[in-house]
A and B are shown apart, each in its own frame.
Chain A
């Protein structure tokens, strides 16, 4: 193989699906072949059966919807506040000097460790779930957006000034469009992290959602259901990732590699 040599689109899809098939096959051999006790790991077939019964008999679709709502709600809240702050920090160095040390500190506070505190403050309702996601994503978003906005090429800014741009329009007409594709990429990435926070929040104190179903299944030793829940999370992540990538390509054709 030659380093960095690209593969055709068709080969890429074949390889990608190939690993999934291999993975499921290895799992099937391990479980159906009796190498792993049923109690610890359900077989793919059991998993599908359990999943089907979850969807049809236990209203699991509702749990999925609730979880998606929480992730999207908390994430939009975080993004709506992080965008203006991140942009201001990236563009104006005094604003950055003021917030950056605190935000850098806050970003290392583990969102999951806040869960007990948040339960105390906000109960186990939706507010608490949204807050967990907010804490988990907001500070990360702010810092990464600030870096993206501030990372503009100096000579582009110079060019804009010599074309008559004011300070304000350098921000709106150079810094923002310049950082837009990277910001979209940051949103995609942090949304992925938000998924882990929501599940943790649901594992600890919740009466609905995918994470809640997983804790319930654990009490019943139903590994088929647990695996089905995990796979659903993976699938949703994959789909949202795909949608984001597709949207970015269409919004920013000029940035495509």
Chain B
């Protein structure tokens, strides 16, 4: 984003696009080829190149248009439930010895941050004259959000979901169907999020004339990683302002879970130019920053779990939304330049944190979000010194995971 066009009306006290620390500007606009440092790009079949270019042009025009911002913000406010609150966690803070604040995306309509991105993309789709949305989903939250936006705007909607996820997130499948979307189970590959993306891309190649691919995270070909981060930056912009009011300053640490990385990118965007330490938490079985190597998948160059020949490996996680062998390219870049650090949480830590948050704060969060909490539970008093102030983005609510938790905790 250029500073002139970067912020629509009413985006509060948010700073201009690029954060700066130790001389490294981060979280501004990617270069002309959609690169964040050595990551990003647009690695799509020729059939889709014109559609990506069209989307980029549409997004640039919309993002510079106050009327677009006004409409988006209006919908996110009157329909999406924004701004979401920041909640101070007294009992959890006492337990951990750090001051914990939660940015409550679980309270947004449809139960996660995914709605922020989807309303923006649906508006763009409408501007481009497209009548159908196609999406991939892992946990089902992005699928539910997309189905919701499609219902709201009167569009057709098809959601691809790996067979494994269809099974473990059955309730969300039904939600999508209730909302009028068609859910197509994906039987190829690992039958999880990665394969759902493949299938959504295959659909889009054949339907691109009237269909917009509503990608659910900061991944894929340019302009998606940048566009989705900008559509999610409302999370970070709000949280920064709310922290200033609550704390009179910025938190010491800002933590979010990372699947593709959209709730983390949106959160980090609000704090990139502060002195807050930024931490992304991946599933231990999908640790693209820790165990991935550079590669190209789903239209982007990023860090990917892969073998020596370049075959993509299957991620493994309790949480369908983090079960992805890659990470958004901007996160790979933030790791490269050291502006954010990326760590992991293991399934058992996640379950424990899920339970702890429920018992101490009365909040049942998504398994994905519980990764961020789990990291803090582990690191409080270690890499996060006692007495620190920590903002955790709680990306979603846990209704969808309750049945699975019941099985696991029995």
Q: Tell whether A pairs with B.
A: no
Q: What is the interface of chain A, defined by CB distance below 8 A to chain B?
A: none
